[in-house]
Amino acid sequence: MRTEYLIDREVEQVLDLLTFDNRLLARLLLHTGLRVGDALRLKPEQLRPNFWITEQKTGKRRQVGIPEPLLSDLRSAAGAAWVFPGADPAKPRTRQALWKDVKRAARACRLTANAAPHSLRKVYAVELLRKYGDIDRVRRALNHGGVEVTLIYAMADQRLNARGQRRRSGPGRKKS
């Protein structure tokens, strides 16, 4: 089953129920559109307002920008070797740790959407399309090769509304 786009209220509910470290990781995903595996591989010395990463899945380079309040929070919480250390501080946290926490939070909120960390990448895409109205800009931000997958991500809210499954309760997600 594919992960689904979450409306603003659902994002807020899930974020509220995540553990502190996973909430911070989720905020990073929402602000950057990174895949969870790439975010977990970040090292403290990479944390700057703008920096480059090489995506694990595609091997493509991508520039990442992090707003100052989030950057400060990340620096404060970062471990010695990894921004998001695992149970063994020499290793990063696992993708499964965030996945389990998001699933737990979604169940506690009784969400009907199939929520998972990748849902946050879809929220990021929708927000970019709303902000700029340029699907090619969203495609470049997500580092997609073609516009087809980008359309699936960036228009998730419109597809949800078209199917009569509008779950939105109000304007705009809380900014963190």
Q: What gap in Å lies between CA 100 and CA 37, rounded to an integer?
A: 14
- Per the CB < 8 A criterion, the answer to whether 44 and 78 are in contact is yes
pLDDT score, position 165: 54
Global confidence as pTM: 0.88
Domains of the chain (ranges, CATH numbers): 8-162 (1.10.443.10)
Q: Please list the residues that pair with 134 across neighbouring strands.
A: none
Consecutive 10-residue runs of the chain (176 residues): their mean pLDDT? 88 97 98 97 97 95 96 97 95 96 97 94 93 93 90 79 49 39
